[in-house]
Structures are given as C-alpha cells and as structure tokens.
C-alpha cells in the first residue's frame, strides 16, 4: 500500500513539474501584449521618471503621458505602437525592431496621406491634407535646419511645439481656444526664445494677450507663421512680414503703401523701411512710451538706422524727417491738413481737366463722324490761279523741333512706365515689371535718368526759344505766331463747341490751335509740379534740412497724381486730337516726324494761318518737297510703334488705377 502511495506522489510531482515547464515555455514564447495599458504601466505621468543616456553622457528623462489628456488629443484613438513601430516588446528595456526608425511625425502623416489619396478619400480627410501642407512648409523653414549643437537633429521638431501626446487645437471662439492662444508665446519662449519672450511680454501685443487675454492681438505665429518660419534676415521674411502686420492694421498698411517706402517694398525691394524697422519687432511700444522707437525723442535715432552716411548711397537724416508722416492720409483734416488740401486740389484738377477735354473729344468725334456720314466735305478754299504746286508740302516743324519731340516722347513714356510701376505697386503687373528692369532699385535709377533727360530737354528748349524771341524785335507775344493764349483762342473754343452741336461753322484756326497751346503749356505745368516734387523726393536730406516732413507726404501725393493726369491726358486726349479723330483716321499723323503737311491738310487744320500766309505772299516760301516714300513709311512705322506703346501704357495705368480703388 505504501509503495502505491509513493508511486502516486511521484506521478503527481512529474505532472506538476511538466505543467510548470510547459507554462514557462509558453510564457517565454509569447511576451506580454503591446497594448496601451502595458505602455502606461511605465510611461504614465504618475509613474517614476525613466532616465536614459543622452548627449554628452548626460541622462535624459523620457516624456511621460497623461492618459486623460492623451485621450482628448487628436491622436487619442491611436495605439502607442501605431507611431512607435520600432518597439517590439514591453520589457523595461525594450528590444527594438531591426532597421525600424523611431516615431516620426512627418513619415507617419505623409504615409497616411498617400493611403488616403489611393483610397480616394481626400475630401473626407482634408484636415490630413492640411497637415501634409504644413509639413512641406516646415521642411523649407528655419526650424528644419540642423541644430548647431546637435547637427543630427533639427532646430525644432513637431513635438517641441505641438506635444504629440496632448496636441489638440480647440474650436475657434471657445474658452479653451483663448487659453491655447495665450500659451503660444510661452511655447516659443520658454523652450528656445527666452529673450524675445521677455521683450514681447512688455510690448503692446504682449500686454494685450498675456495680461488682458485679447486673442485678437498678435502672438509669435501671427508674424513668423507656424510652419513657414524663415530667418528674420532673409528677403522672404522682410517682404512678407509687412503683410502679416497688415492682417490686423489694415488702415495703417494702406497709408504705408502710399509712401515711397511702401511702394518699393511691394515691388520686392527688401531694404527699405518696413513696420519692424520703425516700430521694432518684439518690444513694440506706443508713441507716448519713452522707450518706444517711434517716440518723438527717439524718432531721429530710428530714422538714422537707415538714413545714415554710414550706409552706401545714403545721407544723414535731417530735422524734417521727424515730422514726416509714415501713415499720413487724405481724409483726416485735423491730423493731416496739408494732405487733405492737396488731395482735394488734385481731385478738382483731375475732374476738371478730364471732364472738359473728354467732353471736347467726344463731341468732336461725333461732329466729324456726323459730317462724314452726311457727306459734308471739308471747307472749300478756292486756290485757282494761285500758281501753287500742290505736289509740294507745307513746312510746319523744323528738324530741331521734331528731334526734341521724338526724344521727349520716348523719355516721357519711360517715365510713365517706371513711375506708374511704383505708383501702382499693388497691381499684379507691377512687381513683375520691376523685376524685368532688374529690380526696384534699377527701376528707380532708370526713372531718375529719364527725369534728368526730361528736364534737360526742357531747359534746352527754353533757352532756344528765349534767345530766338529776344533777337526777334518784331515778335508779338499775343500775336498769331505766338503760343501764348489770346482772346482768339477763347473765341475759337466757343466757336468749336457751337460747331460740335450744329449751331455754327467750324472755327478758322490759326497757326497754333487752342488745344495745341494747352498741350504746350501743360509741359511747363508738369515740369514744375512733377519735376519739382520729384526733386524734393530725390534729395530728402536736403529737403528736410529746410522744410517740414509733411512736404514729403504732399510731394509724393502730387507727384503721383499729376503724373497720372499727364499720362492719361497724353494717351487719350492728345492721341485723339492728333491721331484718332475721324478726319485723321487711319493713324498715325506723321507731321511731327516728317515736319511737313500736304497743302490740303494744312488748309483744313489751320485755315486762318493758311489765308494769312497766302495773303502776305509768305506761303510760297514755306513750301518744300514732299517727304520721300521711305521717309513717309518710316515715319508711319515709328508713329504706330509709339502709339501702340502709349496705349499699352494706358492699359497698365488703367488697371493700376482701378486696382487701387
């Protein structure tokens, strides 16, 4: 019996041992499950910190997870190993999968997006597409560059700003959104940009956000963006940062872009005064703040950061710079009375000139078209028995006048092209055109050279005319050969309008018609207004030495609007009078290139002058051979080229004007 009990005990012992061995083998073959609960046993925020070797043999604490926050985050539905694909066990010291990379936000999101695209779910998963766009921007950003202290890692990675285990952007308008928005400066400053955070905290923006909870005030990402962060010294940042300010300060931005600084900035020139050059970047203060860079006591120092003899091609700022209005406008009479008055004057001038001459052109076109439709011939002048050779032409302009006109036309078109590019810098075409010139700086040089030629031609013409008049003792200042307006011009204007409406005959115009005199004297007006204001702007250090700063504001306004008036008048009224009237069609009229007119055309355009020369016997002396065929053809080609360029400029000016409204 005893032997049977011993045998039974032995069998039970063997069975138990076999069971234990089997269980151990099973446990060795199947490690603990890789579920989130297993991970949180070690990585829960309540657990002890886990230290691992870091750089320079210093211990590094691994991040710990708050399960509650993780559950509410955008990644809350994911398993830990969905991102940490290199982890293959739940041991205290993980065995890593050979060749697998550590968790990587970029790789994961890009792979998910590729899957979404293959499955045709891009519309449903649009938010993921936005994430991928942000990734692309980040890759080109300053943060993605290698860190100087640890070149194997970028300056900043997704986790540094977002916190991958807690990331969740609250809905707009929610209380949590306000808290999240207020935390952005701390996110940027506490980890990396401590000095900038200190300055920001005492700025207007910082006080609004951190002290008052105003989520509309600027935080780091409003100026630097969240993902497309570039170095602040880069051209990209300098140009785009102004637009960042404009998103909040729209009215100030519009007034800034009306100044020279704003115009060339919009054209792509990064080295002119921008918002942060004057206001500062992080510690922006109000004008009454003694430490503010725009405080009256500090303003000259601020201007001299750019306007200094130490800068190539620059001069020290002078007294008038302090009263320049970088945000002056035309609607605040109390604050900017000079701008208000100048604006109202220019509007009145523009409306008056265009209203009169466009009405004049419209009625003139109607009358000539109507006369042609009714078969009314040109006024007949009997020339029988006058022994005139009708193959001859009348010499109207000598070669000097024609050459001056040609150079004047080319220079004027160059000024219009380069000037309106700056004036309408907000237009889609302006920056591209500036780049064709080699950039805004080269554009400005071309404009100033053309302006110098314009003034030079004008002075030469003035000297020539004055010396000729002083030598001609018989010249009558208000006579028929003078360009000085007289009473006959007034009578001709009245007579012309009567003819327009069918209430009288066509006036008998003299050597210089009233509209030709207007064209001539308009240059004198333009050279003084446009040229004078341009000189004030071209030499600011001299101007500001003797005149107050508001002169720059008024000069910029007048210079641009008078140039606009001149350009539109030239390419509409002047072109119509000389090339597009029914009597002149098809264009061009080449008298300013050949210098001569047929007798028929001369009799029609200036009948009073024709009759006077005929009666005095002087007409025969002024007759010359008709221009050669090649001269006529060349003149027509030249005329068509200039007219085409002028009309193209008119289109650019029109597009720019309406884009600015």
Among 146-160, 354-368, 378-392, which range has the highest average pLDDT? 354-368
Helix (H, G, I), strand (E, B) or coil at 599: helix
In tens, the pLDDT along 452-470 reads: 999 999 999 999 999 988 8
CATH number of the domain residue 517 falls in: 1.20.950.20
Distances (CA, A) of 213 to 26, 170, 179, 183: 60, 16, 8, 10
More confident residue, 425 or 373: 425
Nearest to 522 by CA among 341, 361, 349, 651: 349
As a whole-number percent, the residues of the chain with pLDDT over 90 amount to 66
* Predicted pLDDT at 148: 86
pLDDT band at 383 (very low <50, low <70, confident <90, very high): low
Helix (H) or strand (E) holding 353: helix 337-373
CA distance 650 to 660: 15
- Domain assignment present for residue 114? The answer is no
- Domain assignment present for residue 108? The answer is no
- Domain assignment present for residue 503? The answer is yes
Same structural domain, 308 and 371: no
Same structural domain, 502 and 643: yes
Q: With 80 as the cut, is the pLDDT of residue 442 above it?
A: yes
Same structural domain, 257 and 358: no
pLDDT band at 30 (very low <50, low <70, confident <90, very high): very low
- Domain assignment present for residue 269? The answer is yes
Q: Is 517 exposed, middle or buried (0-12, 13-18, 19+ CB in 10 A)?
A: middle
Among 29-43, 311-325, 567-581, which range has the highest average pLDDT? 567-581
pLDDT, average across residues 146-166: 86
Q: Which domain holds residue 526?
A: 337-378+399-660
Task: Write the CB contacts of 392 (distance below 8 Å, at least 6 apart in sequence).
Answer: 599, 623, 624, 625, 626
Q: How many distinct structural domains can be found in the chain?
A: 3
Q: What is the DSSP letter of 203?
A: S
Q: With 50 as the cut, is the pLDDT of residue 8 above it?
A: no
CA distance 457 to 434: 26
More confident residue, 7 or 344: 344
Helix (H) or strand (E) holding 541: helix 540-546
Same structural domain, 374 and 480: yes
- Domain assignment present for residue 643? The answer is yes
Q: With 60 as the cut, is the pLDDT of residue 590 above it?
A: yes
Strand partners for 597: 394
Strand partners for 596: 395
pLDDT, average across residues 264-279: 94
Across the chain, mean pLDDT equals 89
Same structural domain, 319 and 351: no
More confident residue, 163 or 573: 573
- Domain assignment present for residue 306? The answer is yes
Q: Is 177 exposed, middle or buried (0-12, 13-18, 19+ CB in 10 A)?
A: middle
Same structural domain, 405 and 281: no
Nearest to 397 by CA among 478, 516, 526, 493: 516
Same structural domain, 372 and 265: no
CA distance 632 to 621: 22
- Domain assignment present for residue 300? The answer is yes
Helix (H, G, I), strand (E, B) or coil at 529: helix
Least confident of 70-74, 186-190, 501-505: 70-74
Same structural domain, 410 and 515: yes
Q: With 50 as the cut, is the pLDDT of residue 582 above it?
A: yes
Same structural domain, 321 and 344: no
Q: Is 17 exposed, middle or buried (0-12, 13-18, 19+ CB in 10 A)?
A: exposed
- Domain assignment present for residue 636? The answer is yes
Same structural domain, 492 and 554: yes
Domain end, chosen from 268, 293, 327, is at: 327
Judge contact between 424 and 430, C-beta under 8 A: yes
Q: With 70 as the cut, is the pLDDT of residue 25 above it?
A: no
Same structural domain, 447 and 485: yes
Any idea what the Cα angle at residue 392 is, between residues 386 and 395, rounded to 5°? 105
Judge contact between 565 and 350, C-beta under 8 A: yes
Task: Write the CB contacts of 401 (distance below 8 Å, at least 6 apart in sequence).
Answer: 595
Q: With 70 as the cut, is the pLDDT of residue 408 above it?
A: yes
Same structural domain, 343 and 323: no
Q: With 80 as the cut, is the pLDDT of residue 651 above it?
A: yes
* Predicted pLDDT at 34: 76
In tens, the pLDDT along 56-111 reads: 667 777 778 888 888 888 888 888 888 888 888 877 777 777 777 778 889 889 98
């Amino acid at each position: 019996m005893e032997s049977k009990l011993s045998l039974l005990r032995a069998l039970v012992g063997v069975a138990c041992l076999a069971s234990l061995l089997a269980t151990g083998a099973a446990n060795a073959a199947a490690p603990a499950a890789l579920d989130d609960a297993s991970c949180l046993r070690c990585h829960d925020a309540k657990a002890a910190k886990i230290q691992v070797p870091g750089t320079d043999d210093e211990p590094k604490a691994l991040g710990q997870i708050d399960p509650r926050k993780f559950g509410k985050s955008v990644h809350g539905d994911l398993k830990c190993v969905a991102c940490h694909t290199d982890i293959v066990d739940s041991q205290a010291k993980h065995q890593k999968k050979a060749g697998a990379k550590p968790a990587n936000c970029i790789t994961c999101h890009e792979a998910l997006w590729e899957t979404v695209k293959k499955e045709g779910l891009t519309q449903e998963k649009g938010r993921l597409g936005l994430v991928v766009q942000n990734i692309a921007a980040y890759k080109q950003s300053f943060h993605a560059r290698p860190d100087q202290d640890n070149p194997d890692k970028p300056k900043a990675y997704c986790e540094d700003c977002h916190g991958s285990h807690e990331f969740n952007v609250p809905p707009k308008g929610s209380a949590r959104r306000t808290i999240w928005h207020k935390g952005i400066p701390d996110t940027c400053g506490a980890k990396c940009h401590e000095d900038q955070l200190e300055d920001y905290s005492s700025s207007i923006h910082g006080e609004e956000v951190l002290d008052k909870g105003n989520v509309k005030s600027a935080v780091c990402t409003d100026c630097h963006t969240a993902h497309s962060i570039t170095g602040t010294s880069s051209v990209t940042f300098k140009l785009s940062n102004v637009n960042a300010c404009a998103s909040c300060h729209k009215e100030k931005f519009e007034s800034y872009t009306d100044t020279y600084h704003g115009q060339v900035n919009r054209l792509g020139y990064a080295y002119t005064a921008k918002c942060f050059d004057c206001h500062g970047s992080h510690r922006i203060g109000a004008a009454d703040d003694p430490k503010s860079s725009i405080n009256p006591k500090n303003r000259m120092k601020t201007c001299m950061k750019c306007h200094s003899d130490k800068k190539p091609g620059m001069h020290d700022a002078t007294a008038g710079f302090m009263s320049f209005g970088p945000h002056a406008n035309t609607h605040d009479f109390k604050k900017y009375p000079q701008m208000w008055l100048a604006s109202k004057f220019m509007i009145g001038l523009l409306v008056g000139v265009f209203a009169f001459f466009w009405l004049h052109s419209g009625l003139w076109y109607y009358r000539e078209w109507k006369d042609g439709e009714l078969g009314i011939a040109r006024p007949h002048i009997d020339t029988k028995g006058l022994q005139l050779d009708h193959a001859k032409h009348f010499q109207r302009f000598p070669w000097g006048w024609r050459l001056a006109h040609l150079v004047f036309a080319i220079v004027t078109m160059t000024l219009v092209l380069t000037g309106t590019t700056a004036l309408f810098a907000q237009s889609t075409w302006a920056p591209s055109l500036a780049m064709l010139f080699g950039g805004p700086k080269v554009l400005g040089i071309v404009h100033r050279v053309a302006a110098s030629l314009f003034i030079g031609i004008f002075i030469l013409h003035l000297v020539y005319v004055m010396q000729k008049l002083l030598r001609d003792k018989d010249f009558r200042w208000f006579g028929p050969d003078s360009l000085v307006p007289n009473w006959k011009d007034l009578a001709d204007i009245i007579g012309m309008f009567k003819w327009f409406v069918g209430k009288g005959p066509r006036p008998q115009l003299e050597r210089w018609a009233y509209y030709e005199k207007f064209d001539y004297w308009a240059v004198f007006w333009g050279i003084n207004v446009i040229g004078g204001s341009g000189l004030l702007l071209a030499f600011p250090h001299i101007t500001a030495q003797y005149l107050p700063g508001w002169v720059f504001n008024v000069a910029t306004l007048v210079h641009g609007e008078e140039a606009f008036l001149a350009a539109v008048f030239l390419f509409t009224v002047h072109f119509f009078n000389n090339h597009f009237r029914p009597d002149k069609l098809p264009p061009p009229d080449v008298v300013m290139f050949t210098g001569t007119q047929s007798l028929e055309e001369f009799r029609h355009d200036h009948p009073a002058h024709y009759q006077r020369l005929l009666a005095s016997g002087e007409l025969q002396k002024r007759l010359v051979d008709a221009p050669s065929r090649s001269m006529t053809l060349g003149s027509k080609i030249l005329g068509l080229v200039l007219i085409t360029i002028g009309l193209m400029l008119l289109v650019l000016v029109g597009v720019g004007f309406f884009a600015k409204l």
